[in-house]
Amino acid sequence: MAERLSKATFSGSVLGVSAPPNPGILHLGIGNFHRAHAAVYTAKAMAAQGGDWGIVAVANRSRRVVDALAGQDYHYSILELSSAGERVDVMDVHRKTLVAAEQTAELMAQIAHPDIKIVTMTISENGYCRNAVTGDLDIDGDLIAADLANPDAPRTSIGQLGGALIRRYQGDAGPLTILSCDNLVSAGHTAHAMVSQYLQATATPEGFHEWFTAQVTFPNAMVDRIVPGMTDGTRSKVEQLLGLSDAVPVPAERFSMWVIEDRFAAGRPAWEEAGAIFSDEVEAYELVKLRLLNGSHSLISYLGGLDGRETIPASFEQDFVRECVTELLNTEYLPSIALPSGFDPQAYIAQLFDRWSNHALGDATARVGSDGSLKLLQRVPDPALRMLDLGEVPQQLALMVAGWIACVCPPDGFDPGPVAAAMIEPAKDRLAAAVAGAGSTRAHVEAIVRGGFFPEALAERDEFTERVADFVRIITTSGVRDAARAALDAARA
C-alpha cells in the first residue's frame, strides 16, 4: 500500500505554485470541476505574477473532500486523460476548508473578512434556487423561505452570500467580486439577480443597498473543461503514476477554457497568464458553450442512455446519435447564437467531436444526464422558441426533452434501462406527482411541460408539446433509434 499524498511525502514540484498562507479567494462548491479548473488557473497565475490568492474551499454539506484534503495538507492530483496519453499533476493551492452546513457562521465571517477579495462558485444550476417558470428567485420555495425566516443560519448558498454581504458591509471590509463558474446563461447576471432578490426580501442596514450596488460586482464568465467523476480506476492510476495514494484525485480532459468579463471590484489573479481570456463578449461565449457543448451533451446522454451506452464516447460513436447531434448543432443551435467576433464555429464543433470521443476519459452518460430538470432550462427554451416563432418545430430539441422524460419519468410500463436508472434527477418526486393519473402519453408529456418545469412561453406552444409526445411514444413503443430516425426525417423533409 503506497503512502498517502501530503506535503511531507510529495517530493516533486506542484503545478504552478503552492499558495501563500493568506487566502484571497473563497470558493463555494469544492467539487471536481473547481479543482480541475479555477484552482489550476489560480495556481498558474500566482506562479507567473504572485499575489495572495490561496483559496478557502467550501463544501456544501459533505465532509468527504474536505476531510481528505485536510489529511493531505491540501495536496491533490489531477489526472489528465486523452488519446495522447495520461499525466498527473499535484496541486497545493487551497489553504483552508469549511463545510457550509456545519460552519455557517464561520463561512459568513470568512466571506466578510477583508482578505477575501473574490468569491468564486460552482454550486450547480440547483444552487441558484431559481423558479423554473419565472426565472426569478424561488422566494416561496421551501429553501429560500426557510433562509428568509432564519437569516443568521441560512442553508442555501444564496442565503449565505446575502448574510455574508451584510456582515461585510457592517465590518467595512471593502469591495468584493462574486464570480459564478456554473453553466448558466449570463452566469454573472443570474447570480446577481438571485442575490439581490434575496437581499431585497430581507432586512438590511441603512446604506447597504447603495454599497452593494457600488462595491460588489458579478462578472459573467464561461467555464469549460470536461471533468468526469472520480472512479477506483482514477485512484489506482494516480497511485501508479505518483507512487503515493490520493483519496480525492480529479480526472480531467486536457482541454480547458475560461472566458471572463474583467469587472473585478478588488483585484484578481493574473488568470490570463494561465490562458484565461478576458473579453467583453462573454455572453456570446457562454451561449456558444451552453448550447453547442452542453446542449448537445444532453442529447448525447439521453439518446445514448436509452441505447444502453454507459459512456459519452460510446454513445457518440453511434451513427444515429452523431447524426442527430450534427443536425441539432447546425440547424437548431448555430442559427440561435450571435457568435463572438473571429469565432470559427466549424473548428469549435470539430474540437467538440474529438472531446466527445475521448474513450480514455470515459465520461459517464449518467453524469451528463443527471439534473436534467435544471440543465435543460439553460439548453432548450430560448433556441426552441426562436424556431417556433419562425413557424418551425425544433425536432432535435423536442427529441432531447422526450429523451429526458423517457429516462427519468417514463410513462407506466416502459423501462428505460440501467444507464437511465443511474441518472440522478432532483425533481423525480415532483415529476411523478405531476404525471399521476395521466391517461395517455400526450397527457403525460403535457403534465410535465405545463407542470412548472419549463417557462410559460414554451409550455403554451402546443406544437412543441405534441412533438415531444410523438417522440416519447416512439421511444416507448419501438425504441430510441426509431425516434431519432423520425426526428431526422422530419428535419430534412
In the complex, the residues that contact ligand CS2 under the rule CB under 6 A are 183, 224-226, 294, 297, 368, 375
* Minimum distance from residue 226 beta carbon to ligand CS2 (Å): 4
Nearest alpha carbon to residue 402 among 350, 355, 444, 347? 444
Cβ–Cβ under 8 Å, residues 345 and 339: yes
C-beta closer to ligand CS2: residue 176 or 222 = 222
CB neighbour list of residue 65: distance below 8 Å, 6 or more residues apart = 30, 31, 57, 59, 97, 248
C-beta closer to ligand CS2: residue 369 or 416 = 369
Nearest alpha carbon to residue 220 among 158, 161, 285, 276? 285
Q: How many residues does the chain have?
A: 493
* Minimum distance from residue 337 beta carbon to ligand CS2 (Å): 16
C-beta closer to ligand CS2: residue 75 or 297 = 297
C-beta closer to ligand CS2: residue 294 or 357 = 294
* Minimum distance from residue 380 beta carbon to ligand CS2 (Å): 13
C-beta closer to ligand CS2: residue 89 or 182 = 182
C-beta closer to ligand CS2: residue 137 or 368 = 368
C-beta closer to ligand CS2: residue 199 or 364 = 364
Q: How far apart are CA 401 and CA 384, in angstroms?
A: 11
C-beta closer to ligand CS2: residue 42 or 122 = 122
* Minimum distance from residue 294 beta carbon to ligand CS2 (Å): 4
Runs of H (alpha helix) within 17-141:
32-36, 38-49, 64-70, 104-111
Q: Tell me 171's DSSP state.
A: T
* Minimum distance from residue 367 beta carbon to ligand CS2 (Å): 6
For residue 462, the one-letter residue type is D
Cβ–Cβ under 8 Å, residues 450 and 401: no
C-beta closer to ligand CS2: residue 407 or 435 = 407
Q: Are strands 54-59 and 94-99 parallel, antiparallel or unpaired?
A: parallel
Q: How far is CA 182 from CA 29, 51, 97, 336, in A?
A: 10, 25, 20, 21
Cβ–Cβ under 8 Å, residues 177 and 216: yes
* Minimum distance from residue 435 beta carbon to ligand CS2 (Å): 24
Q: Are strands 85-91 and 76-82 parallel, antiparallel or unpaired?
A: antiparallel
Q: Are strands 85-91 and 94-99 parallel, antiparallel or unpaired?
A: unpaired
Q: How far apart are CA 70 and CA 97, in angstroms?
A: 7
* Minimum distance from residue 151 beta carbon to ligand CS2 (Å): 32
C-beta closer to ligand CS2: residue 168 or 289 = 289
* Minimum distance from residue 225 beta carbon to ligand CS2 (Å): 5
3-state secondary structure of 222: strand
* Minimum distance from residue 224 beta carbon to ligand CS2 (Å): 4
Look up cell 428567485; give the residue: 137
Nearest alpha carbon to residue 32 among 234, 328, 299? 234
* Minimum distance from residue 148 beta carbon to ligand CS2 (Å): 30
Helix H or strand E encompassing 81: strand 76-82
